[in-house]
């Protein structure tokens, strides 16, 4: 896919997740108010261009902006680590 199509597909997936899950962090349970923002969506396993990881709903969670920042900077919370482990198990089965 070209870059624009990837961007559009990612937002399509994020909107589906946003509609189907409660608007609260899947890491801490903190409510999230307002509209969908990109920093509320976090890939558990970084995709690095891998389309399976980029688009799989099992690889994405709703988080607060602060939780997203912590994970991205290498300081994920324990619940984040638990979710990452589960995602890795799913990924290994699907490779």
Per the structure, the count of domains in the chain is 1
pLDDT higher than 90, residue 4: no
Q: Do 61 and 83 meet the contact criterion of CB atoms below 8 Å apart?
A: yes
Domain span at 39: 3-94
User: Alpha carbon 52 to chain centroid distance?
Assistant: 13
Q: How far apart are CA 18 and CA 73, in angstroms?
A: 24
Q: What's the mean pLDDT when you consider all of the chain? A: 94
pTM above 0.85, yes or no: yes
Query: ∠ CA 63-31-42 to the nearest 5 degrees?
Result: 10
Q: How far apart are CA 33 and CA 2, in angstroms?
A: 32
- Specify the pLDDT at position 19: 97
Q: How confident is the model at residue 73 (pLDDT cuts 50, 70, 90)?
A: very high
User: Alpha carbon 64 to chain centroid distance?
Assistant: 11
């Amino acid at each position: 896919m070209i870059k624009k199509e990837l961007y559009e597909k990612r937002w399509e997936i994020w909107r589906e997740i946003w509609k189907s899950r409660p608007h609260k962090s899947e890491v801490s349970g903190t409510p999230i108010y307002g509209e969908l923002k990109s920093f509320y969506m976090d890939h558990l396993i970084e995709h690095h261009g891998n389309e399976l990881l980029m688009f799989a709903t099992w690889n994405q969670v709703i988080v607060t902006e602060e939780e997203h920042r912590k994970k991205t900077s290498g300081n994920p919370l324990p619940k984040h680590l638990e979710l990452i482990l589960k995602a890795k198990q799913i990924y290994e089965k699907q490779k």
